């Protein structure tokens, strides 16, 4: 059974987020730099020190911190050292991540040294931007960071919704390996936990089923359609069982399998 793509769905395009609130730490010049970069597209606020900013973490979308942030200003005990001195000196960044693990952070630096870049990149949702970069590029990079963060949260909620709905769903990457399998999908194939992650999807079906899916279903999906049909699945124990499959595709070449068990009589009617 072929299902046409849903009408009105358009490819995702980059868009500038609205109502961004950016909190700039420590330096007034940095605030002016950020304000000019965004024009009127962001609310830019300041805090004298990181310690002053901490109560406001939940109120902002992004934190801008100078690379020379002093440890003593962050509320962390230790020396007065700069982040540029090495990965071990970013204790103030560790403090932020302890309290707000996913708050997007931009580290402003006069120079993006290899040591600084390496230290900052060890933390998720954190990037380095030099003060010499064109203002429009600074705004674009901040916007892109926030957009990727938003999409990651949306994807996480979507996967949580899948689990809550109880559908047997798996997402397969372009190499044919399972990236995500819902609990229902995992149990249906006789597996536990994350056992199916990284498993080639072909291992979950009989040879005849794989041949049919590769020759009919996958090419159909590659043309932008959705495919529905029945075939024979294989549990981890080796036992086989009839399944009904709804197969769709994502823009990055991934496949989405939605699987439900069927009786032999229903299987015949579906065919």
> What confidence tens digit (pLDDT) does each residue in 54-63 have?
899 888 988 8
**How many other CB atoms are there within 10 angstroms of residue 253's CB atom?**
12
**Interatomic CA distance for residues 16 and 8, integer angstroms:** 22
Please give the torsion angle defined by the CA atoms of residues 185, 190, 195 and 196, in that order, rounded to the nearest 10 degrees.
Answer: -50
**Average pLDDT, stretch 189-198?**
91
Per-residue pLDDT tens over the stretch 160-189: 656 666 679 888 988 899 988 888 999 999
Number of residues assigned to the chain: 271
Q: What percent of the chain has pLDDT over 70?
A: 76
Look at residue 51 in the predicted model and tell me its pLDDT: 85
Q: What is the DSSP letter of 83?
A: G
**Does the pLDDT of residue 87 top 80, yes or no?**
no
**Interatomic CA distance for residues 67 and 199, integer angstroms:** 42
Q: What is the pTM of this model?
A: 0.48
Split at pLDDT 50, 70, 90, the class of 139 is: confident
**Interatomic CA distance for residues 33 and 66, integer angstroms:** 12
What 3-state DSSP class applies to 42?
A: strand
**Interatomic CA distance for residues 183 and 165, integer angstroms:** 11
**Does the pLDDT of residue 153 top 50, yes or no?**
yes
Handedness of CA 129, 134, 140, 142 (dihedral sign): positive
Q: Tokens in use for 122? A: 């060890």
Determine whether 239 is exposed, middle or buried from the number of CB atoms within 10 Å of its CB (0-12, 13-18, 19+). exposed
Fold of 20-158: Rossmann fold (3.40.50)
**How many other CB atoms are there within 10 angstroms of residue 106's CB atom?**
24
Q: Find, among 142, 162, 124, 134, the residue nearest to 256 by Cα.
A: 162
Structural domain boundaries of the chain? 20-158, 166-270
Q: What are the φ/ψ torsions at residue 15 (nearest 5 degrees)?
A: -140, 150
Which residues are bridge partners to 229 per DSSP? 245
Homologous superfamily assigned to 166-270? PAS domain (3.30.450.20)
Q: What are the φ/ψ torsions at residue 47 (nearest 5 degrees)?
A: -140, 140
Q: What is the DSSP letter of 215?
A: I
């Amino acid at each position: 059974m072929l299902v046409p793509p849903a009408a009105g769905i358009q490819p995702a395009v980059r868009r500038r987020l609205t109502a961004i609130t950016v909190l700039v730490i420590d330096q007034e010049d940095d605030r002016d730099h950020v304000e000019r970069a965004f024009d009127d597209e962001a609310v830019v606020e300041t805090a004298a020190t990181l310690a002053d900013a901490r109560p406001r973490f939940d109120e902002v979308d992004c934190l801008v911190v100078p690379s020379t942030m002093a440890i003593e200003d962050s509320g962390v005990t230790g020396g007065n050292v700069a982040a540029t001195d090495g990965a071990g000196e970013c204790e103030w960044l560790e403090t932020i991540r302890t309290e707000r693990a996913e708050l997007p952070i931009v580290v402003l630096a006069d120079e993006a040294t290899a040591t600084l870049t390496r230290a900052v990149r060890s933390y998720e949702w954190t990037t380095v931007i030099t003060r010499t970069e064109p203002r429009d590029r600074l705004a674009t990079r901040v916007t892109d960071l926030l957009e990727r963060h938003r999409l990651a949260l949306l994807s996480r909620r979507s996967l949580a919704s899948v689990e809550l709905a109880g559908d047997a769903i798996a997402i397969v990457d372009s190499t044919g390996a399972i990236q995500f399998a819902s609990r229902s999908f995992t149990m249906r194939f006789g597996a536990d936990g994350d056992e199916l992650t990284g498993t080639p999807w072909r291992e979950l079906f009989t040879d005849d089923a794989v041949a049919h899916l590769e020759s009919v279903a996958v090419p159909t999906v590659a043309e932008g359609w959705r495919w529905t049909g029945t075939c024979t699945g294989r549990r981890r124990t080796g036992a086989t069982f009839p399944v009904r499959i709804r197969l769709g595709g994502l823009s990055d070449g991934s496949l989405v399998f939605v699987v439900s068990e069927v009786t032999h009589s229903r299987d015949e009617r579906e065919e």
